[in-house]
Amino acid sequence: MSSIVIVGAQWGDEGKGKITNSLATNAKMVVRFQGGNNAGHTVNVNGETLVFHLLPSGISVPGVLCVIGLGVVVDPLGLVEEIDGVRAKGIEVGTNFLIDVGAHMVMPYHRAVEAAEEESRGGSAIGTTRKGIGPAYADRYSREGLPIGMLASFGDFEERLRKIAARKNEILTKLHGAEPLDVDAMVADMRRAAERLVPHLADTPELIRETVASGANVIFEGAQGTLLDISFGTYPFVTSSHTSAAGVAPGTGVPPSMLGEVIGVAKAYITRVGAGPFPTEAIDDLGETIRGRGKERGATTGRPRRCGWLDIVALRYAIGVNGIDRLIITKLDVLDAFETIPVCVGYRIGGGETDRFPRSAEELARVEPLYEEMPGWKADTTAARKHDDLPREAMAYLRRIEELTGVPVAAASVGAAAHAVVQFTEIL
């Protein structure tokens, strides 16, 4: 069996999309297991930049079957738009794309309720993407969700939708003082979406299990990052799904015993979008330099990302939570301009020192990072394709990450293009 799980080892935006896309050329299947169109996976295909939100990042690779697993929440209208956009760029989205019937749908009322809730939180807003992802997951757990498989029997779906939407309108108008949503228009939109999406619906868990068991390469593609995991992240500044490798089983129907290697993707530095504690945040000119060089703006929201130095305490935590076997370090080229590079190797808290990642956001907000300074390389790494092409200091930086984490670095990414990778060991 040769399945691999690709997870973000930080707060997301690590470049998982690019890595998944390039590994997909050796895979039979790419499966998304969580998240929704709050994700934005930027992939460079033949010189053109594509951003996938719901479509798995293997969709541009011919011959790869891409599956949205049951742990994903799907905005039907958003997905139709995304498919049209991707097709317009000449990429096939047909029999190479399946959606599991058990994936729940994000409805317009989820977005409206989320927007109203974020407004009412005022200064303590979570900083969500306002795509309705949290409320859609909440409805799934409160047994008021709508699995996408229901679109295939539209009459039953419509009946259920009308009941739920009426209740949501009460919440919107009475609790939030917002305008009610037009339920007839919602039904009509969903009817149009159903025509487009029903052909892609399938019962996929067994299919995925059979593919893994056949020995073919299957990639489970994570969205967001470990520190945003609903259980293991910096709660409440997290996303509403299991972004870590533990999410694969409930998000696809493939049991843990069938999963292979876990690959953690981490930037050579670290970023965070939205609110929440961030010990190594560089709020000075250096942070601005990282943001500029790394083009650190959200692919889904356009928001500037908060930037800072590599946090080994957080990375070790992510390695433990996911069981990460190997790391891929991305955006190494972004550090090409720095004289020295701080690496956070521990935290100072309450007069003492720790290398343990705190379990509460409040505690994390109180830590002070302890840095080790690594020499920079002040050289362009973007053309590097093999070990010897990298400056000595850049290799020393990667080796230090291995030493501090105890996990081998399988590859370093040095540019947005698919081929801009220095691979040290074979991955798939």
Residues that bind ligand GDP (CB under 6 A): 8, 12-18, 39-42, 44, 299, 330-331, 333-334, 413-416, 420
Shortest Cβ 116–ligand GDP spacing (Å): 27
Q: Out of 13, 100, 311, 333, pick the active-site residue.
A: 13
In sequence order, the 6+-apart residues with CB closer than 8 A to the CB of 223 are 8, 12, 16, 32, 34, 35, 38, 39, 41, 243
131-164 burial string, b = 16+ CB within 10 Å, else e? bbbbbbbebbeeeebbbbbbbeebeebbeebeeb
Shortest Cβ 19–ligand GDP spacing (Å): 8
Sign of CA dihedral 58, 59, 63, 66: positive
Nearer to ligand GDP, 230 or 266 (CB): 266
Nearer to ligand GDP, 143 or 419 (CB): 419
Nearer to ligand GDP, 11 or 157 (CB): 11
Chain-centre distance of CA 389, in angstroms?
30
328-352 burial string, b = 16+ CB within 10 Å, else e? bbbbbbbbbbbeebbbbbbbebeee
SS3 73: strand
Shortest Cβ 266–ligand GDP spacing (Å): 10
The answer to whether residue 388 is catalytic is no
* Residues 157, 149 contacting (CB under 8 angstroms): no
187-199 burial string, b = 16+ CB within 10 Å, else e? eebbeebbeebee
- How far CA 335 is from CA of 14, 272, 369, 413, in Å, comes to 15, 17, 19, 12
Q: Out of 41, 53, 110, 242, pick the active-site residue.
A: 41
Residues in the chain: 428
Nearer to ligand GDP, 34 or 413 (CB): 413
Shortest Cβ 335–ligand GDP spacing (Å): 10
The answer to whether residue 104 is catalytic is no
Shortest Cβ 245–ligand GDP spacing (Å): 15
Nearer to ligand GDP, 7 or 172 (CB): 7
Show which residues are catalytic.
13, 41
